[in-house]
Amino acid sequence: MTLKLPKIIGHRGVRGYAPENTLVGFHTAADMGMTWVEFDVKLTKDGIPIVFHDDNFKRITGLDADVKDHSYEDIAEMDAGRHFGESFIGEPIPTLENVLDVCIDRGMNVNIEIKPCAGREVETAEVVLDEASRIWPEDMQPPLISSFKYPCLETAFDMAPNWPRGFLINESEELDENWRKMLEYLRPSTINFNGNAATDEQIHEYLEYDLPLLSYTINDAGLAADLFHMGVHGVFSDYPDLIEDIL
């Protein structure tokens, strides 16, 4: 199946308009006309895949505790909406199954970023691939599986070779000197890079691989226009409506 990508992908749902990585956020993305959304997946202490970005709950829930130390039963009681606004109080941290069901129901394709806690790279990837392959319908384009962690992408390559993979690069940190070798070994379908930190030289180097480039996280229309002009295929955005204005 040919990978069909949009110009704009909602980041963690639509993080600018609803609490990130929540069901209300994905419904909001669909209501805004998003055809693709991106989200992060981690494992709870008891191995349940949840849609959550950080290793620690504090930024989102106010509780200074690590994801790896809590069961899903504990996490299900946490509030992932209060920090965003009173109208979102009580919004739970969803499971991967919860989110996939919403995206399927709303007709949105997905980029699943595997975001493992340290030491759980292969385990997280295996659980995510098992769960997603069980739920995702065959008549929809397969999820794009991405990760900064090479073992996660390698596991995805082994378990679901026909599903597209996104090779994530973070130019705001020191680049792994082996990234070029790993990119060629993992045979990704896209290169996902930090458009706020990458230099023109780096972007031109990525373009040489003749893969679609997806840039995160772009909330400035002028920067998005520059990236599109350079040959970047699409951007992840918290405010997709701002980027749509330039298309």
User: Are 99 and 113 contacting, i.e. CB atoms less than 8 angstroms apart?
Assistant: no
CA dihedral 63, 65, 68, 71 (to 10 degrees): -50
Q: How far apart are CA 42 and CA 55, in angstroms?
A: 8
CA dihedral 126, 128, 134, 136 (to 10 degrees): -140
Q: How far apart are CA 116 and CA 125, in angstroms?
A: 8
Whole-angstrom CA distances from 213 to 101, 157, 188, 194 are 27, 19, 11, 10
Known catalytic residue at 11: yes
Known catalytic residue at 229: no
* Dihedral sign (CA 106, 109, 115, 116): positive
Residue of 53, 83, 204, 233 with catalytic role: 53
- Reported in sequence order, the residue ranges of 71-159 that DSSP labels E, i.e. its strands, are 109-114, 144-147
Residue of 11, 27, 70, 229 with catalytic role: 11
DSSP 163: S
Q: Which residue has the tokens 């920090």?
A: 83
* Spatial CA neighbour of 198 closest among 167, 175, 229, 228: 175
Q: How far apart are CA 131 and CA 172, in angstroms?
A: 32
Give the residue numbers annotated as catalytic, written as ranges.
Answer: 11, 53
